[in-house]
Chains A and B, each alone.
Chain A
């Protein structure tokens, strides 16, 4: 008795049975120092400039008083809102179609969504420049087939930006909506029909209603991600499609105006947070991470159900009409045809880049007049490109290792702990995915400038790790969710301590998930540009940074060859990651 008592006094209970939450501490500290602190500081800079000291709203006054800035703000909201709307309109039918498919087929089809999602923005944007340009693929086909004589202006205007943004965001929308749709019990729709609901009413009043949490979550994520875009508007938009992120880059890189950059970043972050807040009011934020939606009460709910009823009536008239025009069989083909068109829209532009990498021409003409390997030779013999490639690989490997450790332990901590703060901790680790990258990048630049980390590989690795942690954690969490915790308990009853349980039971079983997390983190870093723009200076560039610089100067076939290389590397890593993820 007394022995037990002394022992427990000598060793406090949190040491004897350490809470699993300790595993999340390294990640917590890392994110606090390199993510939360710099972002907070950037925001504080906007109200208290570094030189003047003291509180000042000057930066915000300047925004409010300058037409240009207000317009950029308005344009940013408009483009982000429209992108969210179109991504949902295009993505919903595709997700619906995928959700009804047998699982194996759906898994294969999802690659057509995943590959464009992970393909570098630079490659995607480059592809659209080639497709939409004045002497691009579409205009070539049009004039070649005699459909039109004047080339259409598809680039450097709102149309170009919207195409590029929607193309980039539809995969995110589909990937967010799909799990919700798969979770909907198909028998509910059948039940509605046996109870007398016509197919359209059954769809709108049951299926669509139940898929709404996914739809709104997708809308929110797309909107927030779109707020921070700068690659697409920089290359596909014109002067009038300048977005907030471009403005921030100019303020930092050319004008070194920190308070003003801070104020702009604050506006962007505030917009994102307000969007989240509205979402939370309406639907409950937990629906994003797969929690069940709260069902509202009262008038808003009645109005919502009423709207669905109207939609049902309208669409049932539409279905009748189209049945009369294209027949019953034709009606059944509408969905698959549309889904395949969307898949073509997602996949084809990037694939067009491949032949261009092998062109024998000095120009980016499509189709290429002949084929040669000269542009790959140019790439492989250029010290600049090769050193950038090597740096990207090294940085990505280091990032992937760090992010997998940090994110993996955090996921493990959350899976094992029953703390009621779990949701909040999860959200904190996910935050780098939600906070616009440009805000993180600028804040980090300011911090790194004082730490002497700018233009160092260490700085890049730290920056990329911040961005990659959410991906790694989500991947490992998903695997742990399907992991039977009783196996750990079994190991414990069989005499294994915690470390041995981890080493001999848990890790071998979730190995596939860890490899997948590693690869996702690797890809995140490998084609990361935002942080690289600020943190990799001078000759120490990464591959995406080098592409960006080249694209700003002039489009050339070497870029096509580089795009092919990047595309092939990222796609192979992604397919590998998917294999490992599925296997476990």
Chain B
């Protein structure tokens, strides 16, 4: 499952990793391979096993089955403090009794570095996150964003072989979060670190990642680049979780010499090359692939229920059938229908994706 084209041995390999708490399974047996320098995001709803996977990798939780291999060495039984992994916690977990500088020096002290080296590396790390002037403060004297940066510096300062981040921006407001995303991206580029990043925010995942590992029900749902997952979701869950999707369920029927999908809103042709196996499936169409077009090959009738003006585009929400809603994106400049008007919503068959 390595990224095509990468030759280096993977930094992290997870084989059949599994965690059970009594009867509940927090993580089904999972395979995963992360090449050096990759920014991988674990994305999924809460309770899907993201934190569990991270904690198994760094050893904070004892695994039930499977192996964790870092740099080709099996580390499944290595205690946490010898794994050389960095973990950035959701609420930072800064030591309240140590100053900012002491917090950042902590991992270096634990590794018995000389005080001259510690001084220099701490100063560098502080500079990297632009906090040189706050070195002697205590964590409670900092704002949320500053605390977050200290947590990042404390992690990057000892150059662990893998950096794990568990919803590091979850506690920040939107504006700060976007700013910190750029910071994290810069730190990743400058340090070349391998980062596994947990979030439940799909926009964050799309913005940051080399690859996204989409999780649901303690399993990996789909693993791929942001484009792959957005453009070719493999399941209805994946389509629904990432971006806005219009999902039309139905059963397969044979008509006019080809297989089509029979739904309660009409009969639609499948995208070219789609494998229509089983009884039925669902068509996923992104809002930007829909247009108002009475002559389109695939189309449904809808009544305009809501018009949301968003500057560069206008979003239409239309009711089809009794209750199903569809979302369309009209680029600026197109003629916008009026509220309650009945419109024909159409799409090219190859712009849709068939999922089971």
The answer to whether A295 and B97 have CB atoms under 8 Å apart is yes
Contacting pair A185 B97 (CB below 8 A): no
CA distance A203 to B158 in the complex (A): 21
- Contact A188 B95, CB 8 Å, known A194-B80, A195-B154, A202-B81: yes
| Shortest Cβ gap from A304 to chain B (Å) | 10
Taken residue by residue from 454 to 490, chain A's Cβ proximity to chain B (1 for < 8 Å, 0 otherwise) reads as 0000000000000000000000000000000000000
Docked complex Cα distance between A292 and B97 (Å) = 11
Q: Looking at chain A's contact residues, is the secondary structure mostly helix, strand, loop, or mixed?
A: helix
Q: A210 and B60 in contact (CB under 8 A), knowing A195-B107, A197-B110?
A: no
Contact for A193 among B80, B97, B140, B154, CB less than 8 A: B80
Q: How far is the CB of A303 from chain B (nearest CB, A)?
A: 14
B89 close to A (CB within 8 Å): yes
Within the complex, what minimum Cβ distance (angstroms) separates B50 from chain A?
16
A192 at the interface (CB under 8 A from B): yes
In chain A between 163 and 196, which residues have their CB closer than 8 angstroms to a CB of chain B?
A: 185, 187-188, 190-196
Min CB distance B241 to A, Å, is: 27
Residue A198 interfacial (CB < 8 Å): yes
**Does chain A have a CB within 8 A of B93?**
yes
Query: Cβ of A196 and Cβ of B93 under 8 Å apart?
Result: no
B86 with A194: CB separation less than 8 A:
yes
Tell me if A199 and B93 are in contact (CB < 8 A).
no
- Nearest CB of A to B170, in Å: 14
B72 CB within 8 Å of chain A: no
> How far is A185 from B93 in the complex, measured between Cα atoms in Å?
8
Given A187-B91, A202-B81, check contact A195 B97 (CB 8 Å): no
Residue B85 interfacial (CB < 8 Å)? yes
> Smallest CB–CB gap between A374 and chain B, Å?
53
From B60, B81, B89, A196 is in contact (CB under 8 Å) with B81
For the complex formed, measure the closest distance between the CB of A312 and the CB atoms of chain B, giving whole angstroms: 10
| Interface membership of B96, Cβ < 8 A | yes
Knowing A188-B93, A206-B95, the reply to whether A195 touches B106 (Cβ < 8 A) is yes
Min C-beta distance of B109 to chain A, whole Å: 9
Q: Mark B58-87, 1 if CB is under 8 A from A, else 0.
A: 101000000000000000000111111111
Q: Are A210 and B93 in contact (CB under 8 A)?
A: no
B138 beta carbon closer than 8 Å to chain A: yes
> A201 an interface residue at 8 Å Cβ cutoff?
yes
A209 within 8 A of B: yes
CA distance A295 to B100 in the complex (A): 13
CA distance A195 to B160 in the complex (A): 9
Q: Are B81 and A198 in contact (CB under 8 A)?
A: yes
Q: A188-B95, A209-B97 are contacts. A193–B60 as well, Cβ < 8 Å?
A: yes
B58, A210: Cβ atoms closer than 8 Å = no
Residues of A with C-beta under 8 A to B85? 194
B120 in the interface (beta carbon within 8 A): no
Q: Are B110 and A195 in contact (CB under 8 A)?
A: yes
User: Chain B: interface residue count, which band?
Assistant: 20 to 34
What per-residue 1/0 map shows which CB atoms of A115-131 lie under 8 Å from chain B?
00000000000000000
Question: Within the assembled complex, what's the spacing in Å between the Cα atoms of A201 and B110?
Answer: 9
Whether B175 sits at the interface, judged by CB under 8 Å, is no
Bound CA span A206–B110, Å: 13
Is B111 an interface residue when CB atoms closer than 8 A count as contact?
yes
- Say yes or no: B95 contacts A192, CB within 8 Å: yes
Docked-complex contact A194 and B58, CB < 8 angstroms: yes
User: Would A192 and B91 count as touching, CB distance under 8 A?
Assistant: no
Contact partner, B93, options A191, A201, A209, Cβ 8 Å: A191
Complex Cα distance, B345 from A363, in Å, reads 98
In the complex, the answer to whether B89 meets A191 with C-beta atoms within 8 Å is: yes
Contact present for A193 and B81 (CB under 8 Å) = yes
Assembly CA distance A210 to B111 (angstroms): 22
A210-B96, A295-B97, A295-B138 known; A196+B91 contact, CB < 8 A: no
Check if B158 sits within 8 Å of A196, measured CB to CB.
yes
A210 and B107 alpha carbons, distance in the complex (Å): 18
B95 touches A196 (CB 8 A): no
Interface residues of A in 208-255 (CB under 8 A from B): 209-210
Complex Cα spacing A191 to B83, Å:
13
* Closest B residue by C-beta to A209: B97
In the assembled complex, which residues on chain B have CB atoms less than 8 Å from the CB atom of A295? 96-97, 138
Residues of chain B with a CB closer than 8 A to A192's CB: 95, 106, 110
> Chain B nearest CB: distance from A557 CB in Å?
50
Q: How far is the CB of B131 from chain A (nearest CB, A)?
A: 18
User: Roughly how many angstroms separate A315 CA and B81 CA in the complex, as a whole number?
Assistant: 16
Contact with B along A14-36 (1 / 0, CB 8 A): 00000000000000000000000
In the bound assembly, the distance between CA atoms of A333 and B158 in angstroms comes to 34
Return chain A residues, CB-CB under 8 Å to B81: 193-199, 202
Q: How far is the CB of B173 from chain A (nearest CB, A)?
A: 22
CA distance A185 to B92 in the complex (A): 11
Within 8 Å CB of B158, what residues of A?
Answer: 195-196
Once the chains bind, are A196 and B58 in contact (CB under 8 Å)?
A: no
Contact in complex: B97, A196 (CB < 8 Å) = no
Bound CA–CA A197/B60 (angstroms): 13
Contact of A190 among B60, B86, B154 (CB under 8 A): B60
A196 with B107: CB separation less than 8 A: yes
- Which residues does chain A contribute within 8 Å of B60, judged by CB atoms? 190, 193-194
Most chain B beta-carbon neighbours within 10 Å: one of A190, A209, A210, A295? A190
> In the complex the two chains form, what is the Cα distance from A195 to B102 in whole Å?
13
Chain A residues whose CB sits within 8 angstroms of the CB of B96 once the complex forms? 188, 210, 295
Q: Which residues of B contact A188 (CB under 8 A)?
A: 93, 95-96
Query: Quick one: CB contact mask for B11-55 with A, threshold 8 Å, 1 for yes?
Result: 000000000000000000000000000000000000000000000
Closest-CB distance, B97 to chain A (whole angstroms) = 5
Chain A residues with Cβ below 8 Å from B154 are: 195
Q: Are A191 and B111 also in contact (CB < 8 A) when A185-B93, A198-B81, A199-B81 are?
A: no
Q: Specify the chain A residue showing the minimal Cβ separation from B93.
A: A191
A interface, CB within 8 angstroms of B:
185, 187-188, 190-199, 201-202, 206, 209-210, 292, 295
A-B contact sample (13 more), CB < 8 A, given A195-B158, A210-B96: A185-B91, A187-B93, A191-B87, A192-B95, A192-B106, A193-B80, A193-B81, A194-B80, A194-B81, A194-B87, A195-B110, A199-B79, A210-B97
What are some 18 contacts across the A-B interface (CB < 8 A)? A187-B91, A190-B89, A191-B89, A191-B95, A192-B110, A194-B60, A194-B83, A194-B86, A195-B106, A195-B154, A196-B107, A196-B111, A197-B106, A202-B81, A206-B95, A206-B97, A210-B96, A295-B97
Closest 8 CB pairs of A and B: A196-B110, A191-B93, A195-B107, A193-B80, A194-B87, A187-B93, A193-B81, A197-B110
